[in-house]
Amino acid sequence: MAELRDARVNPPTVPVVTETGAIKDITVGKGIGGAVVFSGGKFRVGEAWKDKGWKLLRDHYLDESDGPGWQRYEQYRDALAKGQVAPGFPDKFLPKSVLKLRQQNPKDDAAKPKFEDLVADKTPAPKGK
């Protein structure tokens, strides 16, 4: 992987899912101590970020045995880099685990359930006198 440090080209970026379900591009290169490192022939999330709940998008797909889904995402990134498609990967093609993270971590309070809605079904009805 000598090309990782070729000064004439940009280092690769690897899509990573954060603890809230956001997908971000992490730049990876020897000497760049970011969230993703390249070692032993593969990319992996650094320990400190792993502890926060970050995970490679590829691993989300593979954990759901959805290899073709990951290939579709790579196809999207490739087409995007060549300017062949408009930005925006459809949510329906994302791993279920990523969508679940997003559902559990909405960006604003308005999208969160109210406490009364959470407990409404579980709280026993008051006993009548």
CB of 45 to another protein, least distance (A): 10
List Cα–Cα distances, 80 to 17, 75, 84, 92, 93, in angstroms: 19, 8, 6, 18, 16
Q: Considering the rule CB under 8 A, would residue 52 count as an interface residue with another protein? A: yes
- Binding letters toward another protein, positions 80-119, x by CB under 8 A: x------xx------------------x------------
Q: Considering the rule CB under 8 A, would residue 12 count as an interface residue with another protein? A: no
* CA angle 93–73–71, rounded 5-degree value: 105
CB of 79 to another protein, least distance (A): 11
* CB 69, CB 93: distance < 8 Å: yes
